[in-house]
Amino acid sequence: MTPLLQVKGIEKRYGARIGCADVSFDLFPGEVMGIVGESGSGKSTLLNCMAGHLEPDAGQVIFDTRADGPVDTVTMSEPVRRMLGRTDWAFVHQHARDGLRMSVSAGGNIGERLMAVGDRHYGDIRDRAIDWLGRVEIEESRVDDRPSAFSGGMQQRLQIARNLVTGPRLVFMDEPTGGLDVSVQARLLDLLRGLVREMGLSAIIVTHDLAVVRLLADRLMVMKSGHVVEAGLTDQVLDDPQHAYTQLLVSSVLQV
Amino acid sequence: MIELINVSKSFTLHNQGSAVIPVMQGASLKVAEGECVALTGASGAGKSTLMRVIYGNYLAASGRVLVGDLDVARAEPREILALRRETLGYVSQFLRVVPRVPTLEVVAEPLLAVGCDKQAALDKAAGLLGRLNIPERLWSLSPTTFSGGEQQRVNIARGFAHDYPAMLLDEPTASLDAQNRETVLSLIEEAKARGAAIVGIFHDIEARSRVCDREINVSEFTPGMAA
């Protein structure tokens, strides 16, 4: 089986400081990988390098495209990478307002991505937008409201709908449940898990919440000071951590 | 089906003076199809550790852990995930689920994961929940609010939903009333009859002698406790 994504020796420096260095892994279709680590450990830098938001100083991010097979996305042309970002890739930001157009209606936010890939029939676009609002549990009657009138949890669900409407194969998520209260978090987790299974998505989730990765991720990568210190099956890394930092991280979680 | 060859396991506690605690040494065992083997030994002897090494959530320090053709001690995460999805079932003592998911779907999930038709999966889940006396009015609710005994029975139903060729059972009959205990024991007997290889921990001596063909005392594998 060809990996969907092959990351090879990714490195990003901010001057003399290391953002992330020497990160390599393969992600296979249908796999969900979590990246954990404390603030400043380089997880968001890594995610942004993989998603093409930051240019890495070294390394390759090879994606198995539908048309041409594995292609290095770091060296591909900007328009091609942007097209990938609108079709096969999706990026869920921690703050929904970074991933939404706040002055456009909820339906418009979802429809925009469809129009970007060539859909032109207004009725179809609206129907699909309404269908997706339903899947993320937002009432149809809110389709013409602006996201600024939505609660934080609803904005996050709208952002997910906007991202998934074009049927991406790889979703990058940066703290998707951060800043939401726990009941909304649970709902979002349930939703994400269902979508991952139904659509056969692969996903890379950056978070500092170990409970979230245990429920969502098949595999886990632990980062510290820009380096991957441990990687493996999620429950193995959490139940039998090998590295000193992972042991500290796991033992620092407060029991509820 | 399940074979351990000279497996050892130790924990290194980096944050407590790098203490190394050897917990298992020279563990070898073999479980054939249709056979049920009980792990025995005092509390702390390493019964659960051994099960977790087989399931792959504890990393064996050395030796081979074969389930079918796969060496769990050296396999890639995705190989272990595929093994757990199709071949190796594990009924733990605790139910861990995503909040808000209805009980019926929690139980049907392992079947859906192997590509079973949704209706067939839900029907089988319903059958198991019925056998384990979970009232039908609770099926649409999340098991997170259930009593301890109910959660355990949901966990067992989920563990037996898919016909795994190999199974690990961690005290499946603990804290069950006589009727439910009987149901669980017949589920185990049915699994054996269809050829499943089973490794279990049973504190219930009567249950153990009824379903298990052999006993393995894990104290033999405990460093410094060799009998």
Tokens coding B211: 């379903």
Give the predicted TM-score (pTM) of the model. Answer: 0.88
What CATH number is attached to the domain comprising B142?
A: 3.40.50.300
Domain assignment present for residue B74? The answer is yes
Q: Which domain holds residue B40?
A: 2-221
Mean pLDDT over all residues of chain B? Answer: 92
Q: Is A239 on the interface with B (CB under 8 A)?
A: yes
Over residues B34-54, mean pLDDT: 92
Res B103: pLDDT:
95
Res A253: pLDDT:
77
In chain A, residues with a C-beta closer than 8 Å to the C-beta of B20 are none
Cα B225 to Cα B218: distance, rounded to the nearest angstrom = 10
ipTM of the complex: 0.86
Question: Do the chains contact at B77 and A251, CB–CB below 8 Å?
Answer: no
Nearest CA in chain A to B110: A197
Over residues A141-146, mean pLDDT: 95
Domain assignment present for residue B81? The answer is yes
Q: Which residues pair with A202 in a beta bridge?
A: A170
Over residues A31-37, mean pLDDT: 93
Query: Number of structural domains, chain B?
Result: 1
pLDDT at B66 over 80: yes
pLDDT at A216 over 50: yes
Cα B202 to Cα A246: distance, rounded to the nearest angstrom = 33
pLDDT at A256 over 60: no
pLDDT at B184 over 70: yes
**Cα of A101 to nearest chain B Cα, Å:** 30
Q: Taking a C-beta distance cutoff of 8 angstroms, is the pair B67, B2 a contact? A: yes
Radius of gyration of chain B (CA): 18
A76-92 per-residue burial string, b: 16 or more CB within 10 A, e: under 16: beeeebeebbebbbbbb
Domain assignment present for residue B226? The answer is no
Q: What is the pLDDT of residues B94-151, one digit of tens each?
A: 888 877 789 999 999 999 989 899 999 999 999 999 999 999 999 999 998 899 889 9
Packing angle between helix B148-159 and helix B118-131, nearest 10 degrees?
130
Q: What is the pLDDT of residues A50-77, one digit of tens each?
A: 999 999 999 999 999 988 899 999 999 9
Res B225: pLDDT:
53
In chain B, residues with a C-beta closer than 8 Å to the C-beta of A28 are 78
> With 0-12 CB in 10 A as exposed, 13-18 as middle and 19+ as buried, what is A29?
middle
Q: Of A210, A251, A243, whose CA–CA distance to A227 is shortest?
A: A243
Phi, then psi, of A62 in degrees rounded to 5: -100, 120
Q: What is the pLDDT of residues A63-122, one digit of tens each?
A: 999 888 999 999 999 999 998 998 899 999 999 999 999 999 999 999 999 998 888 999
Res B226: pLDDT:
46
Domain assignment present for residue B23? The answer is yes
Question: pLDDT over 90 for what percent of chain B?
Answer: 77
Q: What is the pLDDT of residues B68-91, one digit of tens each?
A: 999 999 999 999 999 999 999 999
CA atoms within 13 A on the CB side of A11: 11
Residue A117 DSSP label: T
Domain assignment present for residue B227? The answer is no
Cα A99 to Cα A95: distance, rounded to the nearest angstrom = 7
Q: Is A187 on the interface with B (CB under 8 A)?
A: yes
